[in-house]
Amino acid sequence: MENENPGEVFVAFDRVQKSYDGEELVVKDLNLAISKGEFLTMLGPSGSGKTTCLMMLAGFETATYGDILLDGQAINNIPPHKRGIGMVFQNYALFPHMTIGENLSFPLEVRGMDKSEREAKVMNALAMVQMEAFAGRRPAQLSGGQQQRVALARALVFEPELVLMDEPLGALDKNLREHMQYEIKHLHEKLGITVVYVTHDQTEALTMSDRIAVFDDGRIQQLASPADLYERPENAFVAQFIGENNRMQGEVESIEGDFAQVRLDDGSMVKALKVCVSEVGDKTTLSLRPERALVVKGDAQYANMFDATVKELIYLGDHIRSRVSVCGRDDFIMKVPNSSDHHSMRVGQSVRIGWSEHDCRALDAT
């Protein structure tokens, strides 16, 4: 069971598999433990299995094999409405004929709560998302952002210990989406609930999560904190999926301790951390983040230094995105901070660039 976090395990997938046609597995032997109070994001491209996992946890899909446990109890055969889990969907799923207050009151009525207690809990939940003034309105009278706040309040109104969120911010514009990311993160911290969140947006996952499970082809490719995923990807898929990444193909020429000398396709030699290589002759993809490649100043020395030609400069406010030709590639990206240094760079110029062997990772060749 994968759980790098200490603390009490609250949600567990134990050897879970899912097939819709009896042949092809969309989730393959999933083992995952989520701690109480954790914010875990399932991140991956469309068809990677992340939403299927969330739907099995919610009870809307049934596992073909394996067990799903909530607080130590197998819940495979418990219907969704008896699992006590809050859900937030991308399309809000609010009842259009009910007022906002009635929408929030409904899950409490189902649980047999009396009217005065219901009213208090509804107003408390609306206060959490700054929507108390809208209790008498209907969903159609609210903006998309307001409807998403109400959907969030409805998921929290019966005080569940676990809340599942399926692409909840996908329909919002960029600024509102970013604002809601912080609101959800702060609510999670304040309430101490366990959140399992599904998205294909890597920035959203990095911003909000305690840990991220990166899915591809029905499996978790890596499970780690946002910083670990970005700084220490374990394979080429994760390196490419999380953040921008320079990929260079080559073959291991020699190995010394934790490092490998890699000969690139153009003959250049690069020193890198050996992550997915073990012996001379192994094919590899080198991964280097754009901000870790630097213009060499003065007599500064790096393990890897090359002459490059500036091909393109794009001004992005806080940094300049520079595309250079180096090591036989025309698509090598550098992020140059917007400081006095960037003024000296121009298209067509030759520059000396360098990077540390610790920032360059020798990953699998795929």
Q: What would you measure as the largest C-alpha separation in the chain, in angstroms?
A: 76
Q: Indicate whether 2 belongs to any domain.
A: no
Regarding whether 257 and 135 lie in a shared domain, the answer is no
Q: Indicate whether 3 belongs to any domain.
A: no
Regarding whether 71 and 14 lie in a shared domain, the answer is yes
Q: Indicate whether 308 belongs to any domain.
A: yes
Regarding whether 225 and 148 lie in a shared domain, the answer is yes
Regarding whether 280 and 163 lie in a shared domain, the answer is no
Q: Indicate whether 356 belongs to any domain.
A: yes
Alpha-carbon gap, residue 205 to 200, rounded angstroms: 8
Regarding whether 271 and 134 lie in a shared domain, the answer is no
Alpha-carbon gap, residue 285 to 292, rounded angstroms: 17
Q: Indicate whether 23 belongs to any domain.
A: yes
CATH classification at residue 85: 3.40.50.300
Q: What is the predicted pLDDT for the residue at 338?
A: 85
| DSSP labels, 216-285 | ETTEEEEEE-HHHHHHS-SSHHHHHHSS--EEEEEEEEEEETTEEEEEETTS-EEEEEESS--STT-EEE
Q: What is the predicted pLDDT for the residue at 265?
A: 92
Question: Distances from the Cα of 142 to the Cαs of 82, 115, 184, 264, in angstroms?
Answer: 30, 25, 19, 56
Number of domains comprising the chain: 2
Per the DSSP assignment, residues forming a β-bridge with 16 are: 30
Query: What would the pLDDT profile of 279-289 be if each residue is shown by its tens digit?
Result: 999 999 999 99
**In the predicted model, what is the mean pLDDT of the chain?**
91
C-alpha closest to that of 10 among 79, 75, 61, 104: 75
* Start-to-end CA span in the chain (Å): 27
- Geometric angle at alpha carbon 48, from 15 and 282, rounded to 5°: 85
CATH classification at residue 309: 2.40.50.100
Residue 341 sits in which domain range?
244-363
Q: What is the predicted pLDDT for the residue at 343?
A: 63
pTM higher than 0.75: yes
Q: Which of 237, 253, 276 is the last residue of a domain?
A: 237
Q: Indicate whether 69 belongs to any domain.
A: yes
Cβ neighbour number for residue 359 with a 10 Å cutoff: 19
Q: Which of 237, 265, 294 is the last residue of a domain?
A: 237
Below-50 pLDDT ranges, the chain: none
